[in-house]
Amino acid sequence: MATLRRRIANWWERYQAWRFGVIDPRARLGVRGEQAAARWLRRSGLTIVAHSESDRGGEIDLIAIDRRRKTVIFVEVKTLATTKPGHPAERVDEPKQARITRAALRYLQRHQLLGVRCRFDVVAVWWIGETPAPQKIEHYPAAFEASGVEGFYS
């Protein structure tokens, strides 16, 4: 009976890794945080279409699609590896929001998606120590509005 349980648990782990993605334990902290966030978003029903999308305008950690709402979601992931006070999402300040907005507009232009609904989310990940999984993940849908694009179309 114990062998059967181990086989089922092993199969379930492999299925979860195939379905939602894996987290590379040897990767840098920020990359592990992005992998954990992507896995979290997939489990919530979103489709991840790009990782670390960057151009001269800036970088977007994850780009997802919500097929039910027909929305493109630009996700900023912030990973914190300390127990000091403070929230990872606080690090997405106004200049960072403006860079993400510019990069998102460029992405939408490149893919002829300017008329599509989009939003900007933040995922906060707490990863204390060398544990195989994060201690806590919080997803903030529509965390901020597009900013810093005055005069972009003029």
Is residue 51 in some structural domain? yes
Instruction: List, for residues 123-136, the tens digit of each pLDDT value.
Output: 999 988 778 888 89
Q: What is the mean pLDDT of the chain?
A: 86
> What is the pLDDT at residue 55?
79
Is residue 27 in some structural domain? yes
- What CATH number should be reported for the domain holding residue 111? 3.40.1350.10
Q: What is the pTM of this model?
A: 0.84
Is residue 153 in some structural domain? no
> Residue 141's closest CA among 94, 76, 80?
76
By residue range, what is the domain housing residue 8? 2-144
How many domains in the chain? 1
> What is the pLDDT at residue 7?
83
Strands 71-80 and 117-126: parallel
Instruction: List, for residues 77-127, the tens digit of each pLDDT value.
Output: 999 887 677 788 888 899 999 999 999 999 999 999 988 999 999 999 998
